Chains A and B, each alone.
Chain A
């Protein structure tokens, strides 16, 4: 059975520098998983395969990548489905995934992003069987078809190897670093063991290994100014930043509210992906909220206040409907993916 998605590591993050609430949300983000159903294209099953068992279910970490699941999937197929001789003929570097609707799945996208993208793309398909009402976001397995040959390399863009996945991951981390600070000094300043360690954290799905390094590059939520207390969430029992827990080291040069820009990408159903400069605070000094971000980027889908009409669209981050008053800087520190990016997926309300 899958070892993924289990909470194997429960060490404590260094609480002296990171507020406990930040660590909590980072852990919730890290531990998020999605169900996948993986089925070999029946036309490509080698002779003598056990056709009754060609489906494999896995609860995969949102922050992981498809190439990292391949060893487990391969093991299952070799042990259970493929005839031994036929299995030996298959070349794993030619395997590739497609969704049921025929969308190619990119090797370098985090699995959670692939899942959320599928959810929002389904929201614009009236014939879709699954309920896409966001008030009832059903967690159903994302059905993947595994092809065993003839990968459309031009469209997949990268090879399925773990190494190229790592390179793409590091590239994203660096781009996020550049977005935040206008340089990549924090990333290039990491020693080789740290650079390897952060990827090992992803591969092994180890929260502590990952954050031991990531905390050197991802800003904390310690406030830059006491005048703008970011609201935590609509849930009064979850104060993200009890004042006593925050180190009062203003001005905090590495704080989430002092970055030049928050690394955010906006995903629309079936594309496009939008990205630009997202400053943590607005000109009047108030915090840049998700509501403001959405209504400035997509005013037709998220009409600015005052608006009393029906809801037209919704926004998911890691599969969660995030409160509109969530602040972009807070999201960047607490709900970024492991690649450093806040991925906002927009679906159509029905």
Chain B
């Protein structure tokens, strides 16, 4: 459920402003409530398929379900853990053998834009592959 929007004193403050039209606080409250519905995190899960490139070690299991609201950074960290990579060991990640997404982009956004046959394909490499 969406949480109550704005801060408790929000509407009161707006209503006391002499130049605010009568329904402005209501409008703002409606807008903030609407905003809350869009802030709800995507609950669905996405299948991520990891594919090694070049000399990178192959994973025994390479399909994973991950909550869509996770950032791509979480995927990178998960991958590093699965590969037992030490911090500092180089690891480059790509979508569709094409580009490195920003670490703060969400899995949900990447899935919606780049999914292949229902999977988000993440390639990983120990060297920079597609600069």
Chain B's closest residue to A179 (CB) is: B113
Measured in the bound complex, the distance between the Cα atoms of B95 and A168 in whole Å is: 14
Q: Is A4 an interface residue (CB 8 A)?
A: no
Residue in B9, B34, B100, B109 whose CB lies within 8 Å of A301:
B34
User: Contacts of B112 on A, CB cut-off 8 Å?
Assistant: 275-277
Number of interface residues of A (CB under 8 A): 43
A201 within 8 A of B: no
**CB of B6 within 8 A of chain A?**
yes
Cβ of B39 under 8 Å from chain A: yes
User: For B23, B101, B112, B131, which residue has the most chain A Cβ atoms within 10 angstroms?
Assistant: B131
Count of chain B residues with a beta carbon within 8 Å of a chain A beta carbon: 37
Please report the number of residue pairs spanning A and B whose Cβ atoms sit closer than 8 angstroms: 103
Which residues of B sit under 8 angstroms from A80, Cβ to Cβ? none
Other A-B pairs, 6, CB within 8 Å; known A179-B113, A184-B98: A168-B102, A174-B130, A184-B130, A300-B37, A300-B38, A348-B28
* Chain A residues packing against B (C-beta within 8 Å): 106, 108, 124, 126-127, 157-158, 167-168, 170-172, 174-175, 177-179, 183-184, 188, 195, 261, 265, 268-277, 298, 300-301, 309-310, 312-313, 348-350
Which 10 A-B pairs have CB atoms at the shortest separation, nearest pair first? Answer: A300-B34, A174-B99, A275-B109, A276-B112, A312-B31, A171-B100, A157-B103, A310-B27, A348-B31, A175-B99
Footprint of A on B, CB under 8 Å? Answer: 6-7, 9-10, 13-14, 23-24, 27-28, 30-32, 34-35, 37-39, 41, 73, 95-96, 98-106, 109, 112-114, 130-131
